Amino acid sequence: MAIRLAKRDDEFAETHEINVTPFIDVMLVLLIIFMVAAPLATVDIPVNLPSASTEPAARPDKPIFVTFRADHSLAVDDGTVARDELAAALDAATNSDRNQRVLLRADQALSYGEVMDVMNLLRNAGYTKVALVAVENRGSP
Mean pLDDT for 64-85 is 89
Report whether pLDDT(67) > 60.
Answer: yes
What is the CA angle 89-116-118, rounded to 5? 15
Q: How much is the pLDDT for 26? A: 93
Q: How much is the pLDDT for 141? A: 52
Dihedral angle computed from the Cα positions of residues 8, 12, 17 and 19, in that order, rounded to the nearest 10 degrees: 120
Least confidently predicted of 2-6, 70-74, 113-117? 2-6
pLDDT in tens, 110-133: 888 888 999 999 999 899 888 888
Helix (H) or strand (E) holding 75: strand 74-76
Q: How much is the pLDDT for 16? A: 75
pLDDT band at 41 (very low <50, low <70, confident <90, very high): confident
Helix axes 86-94, 112-124, angle to 10 degrees: 60
Q: What is the C-alpha separation between 110 and 49, in angstroms, rounded?
A: 10
The model scores a pTM over 0.85: no
Residue 41 has φ and ψ, to the nearest 5°, of: -75, -25
